[in-house]
Structure 1
Amino acid sequence: MQKYHFIAIGGAVMHNLALALVQKGDQVSGSDDEIYEPSRTRLAKAGILPAVYGWFPEKISADLDGIILGMHARIDNPELIKAQELGIPVYSFPEFIFNQSQNKKRVVIAGSHGKTSITSIILHVLKDQNIDFDYLVGAQIEGFDLMVRLSDAPVIVIEGDEYLTSPLDRTPKFFHYRHDIALVSGIAWDHFNVFPDFEVYKDQFLKLMNQTPESGELIYCEVDPLVNEAAEKSSITGVKTPYRTHPAKIIGGKTFLQTDLGLLEIGIFGDHNLQNLQGAMEVCRALGISTSEFYRSIPTFKGAAKRQETLASGKTGILFRDFAHAPSKLKATVNAVKNQFPDRRLISVQELHTYSSLNKEFLPNYANSMEETDVAIIYLNPHAVALKKLELMDEATLREGFKRPDLILFTESQALKEYLLAQNYSNTNLLLMSSGNYDNLDLEPLKAKFN
């Protein structure tokens, strides 16, 4: 049994890692200055919810085996300073995951978009094929209690994020996993606050590719020109495996894979998801799963939470929720829903919530990303904009940036709710896209419109 303390235990991945260690039999404590649901309830149920919010140096004792430092903490955090004074090992969560998996085959799924979906597909197939594995994924997946598992399994599948590692380490998380197998799905500018130069952003993925060992494998989406360019530039001597979009047909609003076994109905749709599926298949092959075994497992995959998730469905309309926030994700999701149901009207609502999306300088990257939707709506929370110390963009600015002269802007959650509830959803799909929650918009009345 090891003894660990989490600084900023309330984060999505951090609290899942804490719960995974409790499940493993380790002793866990933690601190945070704020903890929201569902982290709060889950930590309380496990008996490790901090009794009082805040930072307490007295929690840090010399008998700790390690400190796990969350990105939310600051470098002057009093608990961190005390740990450094006592010489206790301090890990970011990616460093800790590597520390716990040095003797495993490490698979890292990276890319500006699609990494959660690809990781989720791989996890589903491995579980369905009764293969023992560990994992780290950025969303809750059906059939998995936690977003992290650490055990004695010989393989770990990791969703590798290019965002910063910790307050002490301003490099991308995915460098720390030291992969045996890496997949790169796509490159499209994101994290504008950290990578204001697109060339620097792209270079992170080339560096990741170049980490592939001689005995390893790089799997990459050659349909994405920037990924393909980076893969061709990479100097690795290991195996390079390109992939494209899996052939499929849409019949009656359902997607069917075209396989040697015939048409196979699946629960996900859209070109990006078909690329994600093909990439996941290549990873599974690299782990010893045959194509036929993959096809036997994939029909029961329903998708990751908030990734083209169906919240409500009626005879002629569906309410979808998606995590899309960056331009490439937004465009891919809108196009996927419209292509799947070309005869239905599509109302799309995008909440601009991240630093990049709220930044006026980054706005031109959203040009034509909502071109395929019939009604384009943007929601901005003035409080969120103020917290990021940015300028609140008006409707004219957004219309020019998105290249949608008919774009509608809402800055009040209640007004957005009233507008959406007033719509007729006969032969209409509604797509809600955000990494936030529209200022706690109650979705239940909207769901009722589709019953």
Structure 2
Amino acid sequence: MRIHFISIGGSVMHQLAIALQKKGYQITGSDDEIFDPARSVLEAAGLLPAIMGWHGDNITEQLDAVIVGMHARADNPELLKAQALHLKIYSFPEYIYQESKEKVRVAIGGSHGKTSTTAMVMHILSQNKKAFDYLVGARLQGFEQSVQITEAPILVAEADEYPASALKPVPKFHFLYPHIAVITGIAWDHINVFPTFDFYLEQFRIFIQKIEPGGILIYNASDPALQQLVAEEKRADIRFAPYQIPVHEIKDGVTYIELESVKTALGVFGDHNLLNLHAAFLVCKELGLSPSAILEAASSFSGAAKRLELLYQDPANGVSIFRDFAHAPSKVKATIQAVKQQFPERQLLAVLELHTYSSLNAHFMQQYKGAMDAADQAIVFYTPHALAMKKMAPLPPQSVEAGFDKPGLKVIQDKVELEKILNTTPLKNVNILLMSSGNYDGLDLAGWIQQTKSK
């Protein structure tokens, strides 16, 4: 197979390119700019384009397929030539489906928790020596890449609702046609793509319609919007399996869980992780594993990168520093509550960076009401530079304060001021939780952690 990637430098595109190269396919690619870590990874694999930019000569009749990433526009010269030659053209998820038509397909979607749930399923299957392919949106311990395509009989996919490509601007998860589908919850996000909640909700309704006949939908029954969506669903040719927070207890900072009379200690914590684990448990049962085998494997799961990732701890002084990808209101609230519930005796300093289109939109601020209430100290950080880069209107601090409606909330727009607070916070009986999908305007997080360790 000869396949060309238009926009090969994308975070998932370059991983698919390498996965297909490992499968023995002949891979080429192009892009107008590629940054690390994708650049270094592609260079090591011999797939870094020799010249940046779009070149029609890259597209020939000898190609078996062309895969187009989100970064490529509809007027891309390589795409136009591929269309003129009537080549097979796929978005990323469309091609994943082509490679998995004969596999049992698991698609894990939802506004939040899909990465962690996917990672849990992957970990449990791996620990039980099950062969499977996968795609996931985070770096996972024990997995060399975030995409694997082989001859394995199972595909486990994180199913994103973001558009597949400029050519087909509909959600990625509409192209996967799963046998086993999961929806972890629905909370309005990506308002630049889905301007109303009803439009956003409709994408999940379509996702349910895409489940293969005879398949199953595993869904979070504690989510009111999702529960209502399922209640309205008329499909009689699939099964519906609700899940909720399972029986559990917390002892000395460790969470113990019980499912189907099997008990185990966990390496993760928080109600949202317990929900995710229950979903993963049901997926793995559908794939033939026993409850005891599932929970024995789950006990060693330590989480995905940037999902309540422990950066530093000092048990003697009662200090932990966590990093999390949380940015949507529901995830911010769940993450803060998880840390507070796990360590109720410690003060909690929660720092949230507003970085996405939704979170920087003044009209969206009301969605954050109550999201940081469980924190003892709360900071919201964003910069005028982030707004300018996205060509968005200014966001007055007063709008942020009114939206969050959190007494004592600090709104900071200067990285130096944020660094000062972090450096002067007494490290005694306190947890610090850093939440962002960005980098705090270039804050030297690694240097701060190293400095903290040396104190």
1:362 is paired with a residue whose SS is helix
1:171 is paired with a residue whose SS is coil
Aligned twin of 1:143: 142
Aligned twin of 2:416: 414
Aligned twin of 1:74: 73
Aligned twin of 1:293: 293
Aligned twin of 1:426: 428
For residues 339 and 411 of structure 1, what CA distance do their matches in structure 2 show? 29
Aligned twin of 1:245: 245
For residues 56 and 319 of structure 2, what CA distance do their matches in structure 1 show? 54
Aligned twin of 2:375: 373
Indicate conservation of the 8 Å contact 2:347/2:429, yes or no: yes
Indicate conservation of the 8 Å contact 1:112/1:188, yes or no: yes
Aligned twin of 1:340: 342
Aligned twin of 1:199: 198
Amino acid of the structure 2 residue aligned with 1:266: L
Is 1:304 aligned with 2:304?
yes
- Give TM-score, length-normalised by structure 1: 0.97
For residues 117 and 142 of structure 1, what CA distance do their matches in structure 2 show? 12
Indicate conservation of the 8 Å contact 2:260/2:291, yes or no: no
Counterparts in 2 of 1:314-393, with a 5 A limit? 314-315=314-315, 316-393=318-395
The one-character-per-residue Cα deviations of 1:286-334 (angstroms, maximum 9, x if unpaired) are: 1111111101111111111110001111121111010101101111101
Indicate conservation of the 8 Å contact 1:395/1:408, yes or no: no
For residues 414 and 57 of structure 2, what CA distance do their matches in structure 1 show? 43
Amino acid of the structure 1 residue aligned with 2:353: E
Amino acid of the structure 2 residue aligned with 1:325: H
Indicate conservation of the 8 Å contact 1:267/1:299, yes or no: yes
1:310 is paired with a residue whose SS is strand
Amino acid of the structure 2 residue aligned with 1:143: G
Aligned twin of 1:267: 267
2:363 is paired with a residue whose SS is coil
Indicate conservation of the 8 Å contact 1:317/1:450, yes or no: no
Cα displacement (A) at 1:446: 2.5
Is 1:85 aligned with 2:75?
no
Percent identity between matched residues is: 46
Amino acid of the structure 1 residue aligned with 2:292: S
Aligned twin of 1:313: 313
Q: Structure 1 stretch 406-415 or stretch 223-232: which is displaced more?
A: 406-415
The one-character-per-residue Cα deviations of 1:246-287 (angstroms, maximum 9, x if unpaired) are: 211111111111356665211111111100000000000111
Q: Which consecutive unaligned segments of at least 5 residues does structure 2 have?
A: none
For residues 348 and 181 of structure 2, what CA distance do their matches in structure 1 show? 36
Indicate conservation of the 8 Å contact 2:262/2:295, yes or no: no
Amino acid of the structure 1 residue aligned with 2:412: F
Aligned twin of 2:158: 159
For residues 438 and 296 of structure 2, what CA distance do their matches in structure 1 show? 35
- RMSD of the TM alignment (CA)? 1.3
Cα displacement (A) at 1:108: 0.6
Aligned twin of 1:54: 53
Cα displacement (A) at 1:55: 1.5
For residues 131 and 322 of structure 2, what CA distance do their matches in structure 1 show? 33
For residues 65 and 22 of structure 1, what CA distance do their matches in structure 2 show? 14
Aligned twin of 1:394: 396
Aligned twin of 1:185: 184
Cα displacement (A) at 1:403: 0.4
Cα displacement (A) at 1:143: 0.4
Q: Structure 1 stretch 141-150 or stretch 262-271: which is displaced more?
A: 262-271
Count of matched residue positions in the alignment of Structure 1 and Structure 2: 450
Counterparts in 2 of 1:93-132, with a 5 A limit? 93-132=92-131
Indicate conservation of the 8 Å contact 2:263/2:295, yes or no: no
Cα displacement (A) at 1:154: 0.9
Q: Which consecutive unaligned segments of at least 5 residues does structure 1 have?
A: none
2:170 is paired with a residue whose SS is strand
1:106 is paired with a residue whose SS is strand
Aligned twin of 2:258: 258
